Structure 1
Amino acid sequence: MDKPSVNTLNTFDYPNSGDGYDEVYGNQPLMNDHWQHMLEGLKVLGKQGIQERHLKAERILRDDGATYNSVSAPLSKTWQLDPVPVLLGSEEWGEIEEGLLERSELFNLVLKDLYGNRDLIRHGIIPPELIYSHPGFLRACQGMSLPGEHQLIMHATDMVRGTDGKMLVIGDRTQAPSGAGYALENRTVMSRVLPSLFRDNHVHRLTQFFQTLRLKLNSLASHLTTDQPRVVILTPGSYSETYFEHAYLASYLGYPLVQGSDLRVSNGYLWMKSLGELERVDVVLRRIDDRFADPVELKSDSNLGVPGLLEVVRSGKVIIANPLGSGVLENPALLRYLPQISVHFLGREPRLASVKTYWCGNSQDLAYVLDNIQRLVIKPTFQKQGTESVFGSQLSEKQRELLKTQLKSTPFNYVAQEYIRPSTTPSWSGNQLVPRPTVLRGFSVAGESSYRVMPGGLTRAGNASGSLNLTNQQGAVSKDTWIIASEPEVQEISLRDVPVWSAPITKQQPRATFPCRVVENLFWMGRYAERAESALRLLRTVFVQFNSTYHMPEPTRQLLLRTVTQVTTTYPGFTVEDPELYAEPESELLAVILDAERNGSISSNLNALIHCADQARELLSADTQRVINDLRDELDALTGELQHGLNAAPEEALDPLVTTLLALSGLWQESMIRGLGWRFMDMGRRVEKAVQAVRLLRATLVQVLPEDEQLRVLEAVLLSSEALITFRRRYHYDSDMARGLELLIHDNSNPRSIFYQIELLRQHLSELPSTAHGVGLEKEDRYLLEASSAIQLSTLDDLVAEDDINAIRVGLNRLLTRLEHLLQETSTQISNKYFDQVKVHQQLVRTNWDEEL
Structure 2
Amino acid sequence: MATDNLTPTQPPSVAAQSATLEYRPRAGRYDEAYTDTGEVRPHWQYVLNALDQLGPAGLESRQRKAQRILRDDGANYNPTGGEQQSREWGLDPVPLLIGSEDWSHVEAGLSERAELFDLILRDLYGPRELIKSRTLPPELVLGHSGFLRACSGLGAPNEQQLILHAVDMVRGPDGQIQVVADRTQAPSGAGYALENRMVMSRILPSLIRDSQVHRLALFFQALRRKLNSLSPNGGSPRVVILTPGAYSETYFEHTYLANYLGYSLVQGGDLTVRDGYLWMKSLDGLHRVDVVLRRVDDTWCDPVELRGDSHLGVPGLLEVVRAGHVAIANPLGSGVLENPALLKFMPQISEFFLGRQLSLASTQTWWLGDPEDRHFALDNLDKLVFKGTQRRPGQHSIFGAELSESQRKSLLKELMRNPAGWVAQSANLPSTVPVWQSTDLTPRPTVIRGFAVADEGSYTVMSGALTRVAGEGSQVVVSNQLGATSKDTWVLASEPQRFTTLRDQQTAPLTGEQSSDLPSRVVENLFWMGRYSERAESSTRLLRTVFMQLNSINSLPDSVRQQLLQSVTEVTGTRPGFFAPPAKEGLDPEPELISVILDANRYGSVCSNLNAMLNCTEEAREMLSGDTHRVLSDLRDTIRELPQQLQPGSLSAPEEALDPVITSLLALSGLSQESMIRGFGWRFLEMGRRLERTLQSTLLLRSLLVPVLDDDQEQQMLEAALMCGEVLVTYRRRYRSQPEMRNALILLLLDRSNPRSLQYQLSQLTQHLYELQGGDSTSLLSPERRKLLEARTLLQLSDADQLAEQDSDGQRVALDIMLGQLFILLTETSNLIAGHYFEHQRNPQRLVNTSWSDDE
Q: By the TM > 0.5 criterion, same fold? A: yes
Structure 1 contact 303–840 (Cα < 8 Å) conserved: no
Partner residue of 1:554 out of 547, 553, 558: 558
Q: Does 1:753 align with 2:774?
A: no
In structure 2, do the counterparts of structure 1 residues 279 and 602 end up closer, same or farther at CA, with 3 Å as the change threshold? same
Question: For residues 503-541 of structure 1, what are the alpha-carbon distances to aligned partners after superposition, in whole Å with 9 as ceiling and x for unaligned?
Answer: 6x4869454232000000000000111111111111111
Letter in 2 for 1:219: S
In structure 2, do the counterparts of structure 1 residues 283 and 772 end up closer, same or farther at CA, with 3 Å as the change threshold? farther
Residue matched to 2:4: 2
User: Which range moved further: 756-765 or 424-433?
Assistant: 424-433
Structure 2 contact 20–55 (Cα < 8 Å) conserved: no
| Deviation of 1:579 (Å) | 3.1
RMSD of Structure 2 on Structure 1 (CA): 2.1
CA distance in 2, matches of 1:72, 1:252: 23
Q: Does 1:387 align with 2:395?
A: yes
CA distance in 1, matches of 2:37, 2:841: 62
Residue matched to 1:319: 327
Residue matched to 1:263: 271
Residue matched to 2:13: none
In structure 2, do the counterparts of structure 1 residues 510 and 544 end up closer, same or farther at CA, with 3 Å as the change threshold? closer
Q: Does 1:794 align with 2:798?
A: yes
Structure 2 contact 281–287 (Cα < 8 Å) conserved: yes
Letter in 1 for 2:222: T
What is the total number of aligned residue pairs between the two structures?
845
Q: Does 1:234 align with 2:242?
A: yes
CA distance in 2, matches of 1:507, 1:204: 34
Partner residue of 2:833 out of 804, 818, 830: 830
In structure 2, do the counterparts of structure 1 residues 507 and 665 end up closer, same or farther at CA, with 3 Å as the change threshold? closer
| Deviation of 1:487 (Å) | 2.1
Matches within 5 A, 1:486-501: 486-492=494-500, 494-495=501-502, 497-501=503-507
Residue matched to 2:61: 52
SS at match of 1:323: coil
SS at match of 2:553: coil
| Deviation of 1:72 (Å) | 8.1
Letter in 2 for 1:319: A
CA distance in 1, matches of 2:429, 2:684: 55
User: Which range moved further: 644-653 or 806-815?
Assistant: 644-653
| Deviation of 1:265 (Å) | 1.1
Question: For residues 611-656 of structure 1, what are the alpha-carbon distances to aligned partners after superposition, in whole Å with 9 as ceiling and x for unaligned?
Answer: 0000000111000011111111101111110123465311101001
User: Which range moved further: 56-65 or 829-838?
Assistant: 829-838
In structure 2, do the counterparts of structure 1 residues 645 and 676 end up closer, same or farther at CA, with 3 Å as the change threshold? farther
Question: For residues 352-377 of structure 1, what are the alpha-carbon distances to aligned partners after superposition, in whole Å with 9 as ceiling and x for unaligned?
Answer: 00000111111111111111111111
| Deviation of 1:406 (Å) | 2.0
Matches within 5 A, 1:150-299: 150-221=160-231, 223-226=232-235, 228-299=236-307
CA distance in 2, matches of 1:136, 1:633: 41
CA distance in 2, matches of 1:699, 1:755: 19
Question: For residues 484-510 of structure 1, what are the alpha-carbon distances to aligned partners after superposition, in whole Å with 9 as ceiling and x for unaligned?
Answer: 112211222x12x12331x6x486945
In structure 2, do the counterparts of structure 1 residues 450 and 628 end up closer, same or farther at CA, with 3 Å as the change threshold? same
Residue matched to 2:569: 565
| Deviation of 1:842 (Å) | 6.4
Question: For residues 664-683 of structure 1, what are the alpha-carbon distances to aligned partners after superposition, in whole Å with 9 as ceiling and x for unaligned?
Answer: 11101111100000000000
SS at match of 1:579: coil
Partner residue of 2:483 out of 475, 486, 511: 475
Structure 1 contact 235–259 (Cα < 8 Å) conserved: yes
Matches within 5 A, 1:68-107: 68-71=77-80, 74-107=84-117
Matches within 5 A, 1:691-770: 691-733=695-737, 735-770=739-774
Letter in 2 for 1:38: V
CA distance in 2, matches of 1:581, 1:340: 86
Question: For residues 118-146 of structure 1, what are the alpha-carbon distances to aligned partners after superposition, in whole Å with 9 as ceiling and x for unaligned?
Answer: 11111111111110110000000000015
Residue matched to 1:130: 140
In structure 2, do the counterparts of structure 1 residues 12 and 429 end up closer, same or farther at CA, with 3 Å as the change threshold? closer
Q: Name stretches of at least 5 consecutive residues in structure 2 with no aligned partner.
A: 9-16
Q: Name the TM-score, length of structure 1 as normaliser.
A: 0.96
Letter in 2 for 1:95: H
User: Which range moved further: 14-23 or 52-61?
Assistant: 14-23
| Deviation of 1:25 (Å) | 2.2
Partner residue of 1:815 out of 818, 821, 835: 818
Letter in 2 for 1:69: N
CA distance in 1, matches of 2:795, 2:470: 66
Letter in 2 for 1:392: G
Q: Does 1:677 align with 2:681?
A: yes
Letter in 1 for 2:581: E
Residue matched to 1:777: 781
Structure 1 contact 638–653 (Cα < 8 Å) conserved: yes
Q: Does 1:13 align with 2:40?
A: no
Q: Name stretches of at least 5 consecutive residues in structure 1 with no aligned partner.
A: none
Question: For residues 320-363 of structure 1, what are the alpha-carbon distances to aligned partners after superposition, in whole Å with 9 as ceiling and x for unaligned?
Answer: 10000000000111111111111111110100000001111111
CA distance in 1, matches of 2:80, 2:164: 25
In structure 2, do the counterparts of structure 1 residues 91 and 558 end up closer, same or farther at CA, with 3 Å as the change threshold? same
Residue matched to 1:461: 469
Residue matched to 1:43: 52
Letter in 1 for 2:540: L
CA distance in 2, matches of 1:105, 1:683: 51
CA distance in 2, matches of 1:774, 1:288: 46
Q: Name the TM-score, length of structure 2 as normaliser.
A: 0.96
Q: Does 1:33 align with 2:42?
A: yes
In structure 2, do the counterparts of structure 1 residues 42 and 715 end up closer, same or farther at CA, with 3 Å as the change threshold? same
CA distance in 2, matches of 1:848, 1:319: 26
| Deviation of 1:553 (Å) | 1.0
Partner residue of 2:608 out of 597, 600, 604: 604
CA distance in 1, matches of 2:163, 2:351: 23
Question: For residues 402-429 of structure 1, what are the alpha-carbon distances to aligned partners after superposition, in whole Å with 9 as ceiling and x for unaligned?
Answer: 3223222212111111111111110111
User: Which range moved further: 194-203 or 142-151?
Assistant: 142-151
Partner residue of 2:72 out of 60, 63, 67: 63
User: Which range moved further: 842-851 or 48-57?
Assistant: 842-851
In structure 2, do the counterparts of structure 1 residues 665 and 582 end up closer, same or farther at CA, with 3 Å as the change threshold? farther
